[in-house]
Amino acid sequence: MDRKKIMIVDDSSAMRLVIRNFINSDPNYVVVQTAANGKEALEKLASANPDLILLDLEMPEMNGLDFLRHARLKTHAKLVVLSSTVEAGSPNVTKARALGADAVVLKPSGAISYDLADKKGSELWQVIHRLLGKPPFTQRL
């Protein structure tokens, strides 16, 4: 089985773990790399070669918007902003889309959303499937 590769970029180690566990719950996807900020993500991008990047916006050293400014020159990966600062109509949504984000998903409970799977899991899977193609049905035991 050819699993789709996903990179997680978020400054919170707790949130990276939450997202990793969410992605790894489906055998069609694998987390190939994580980064704590945009600068680190750019450095790891070539070796990770992800199909999709889940990107927070508010991070130290290089935020998600600055990462987006550089990412399209370095990768063909789909870019999904997953942030607590992208409420409907917010300037960050407009900026992220203008800089090349393929989709934007609001974290349900702030910067660290332990309830991501429960509150936004369905929406996030729909976005991932739309961007990467829906994987074949995998029966879980």
Confidence of residue 87 (pLDDT cuts 50, 70, 90): confident
- Burial of residue 140 (number of CB atoms within 10 Å: 0-12, 13-18, 19+): exposed
DSSP state of 86: -
Tokens of 107: 């974290």
Report whether pLDDT(75) > 90.
yes
Reported as a pLDDT band with limits 50, 70 and 90, residue 56 is very high
What domains sit in the chain, N to C, each tagged with a CATH number? 4-132 (3.40.50.2300)
Extract the tokens encoding 30. 């694998």
Sheet holding 78-83, edge to edge: 29-35, 4-9, 52-55, 78-83, 103-106
Distances in Å between the alpha carbon of 73 and those of 7, 46, 77, 126?
17, 12, 11, 26
The pTM is what? 0.92
Of 10, 1, 4, give the one whose Cα is nearest residue 107: 10
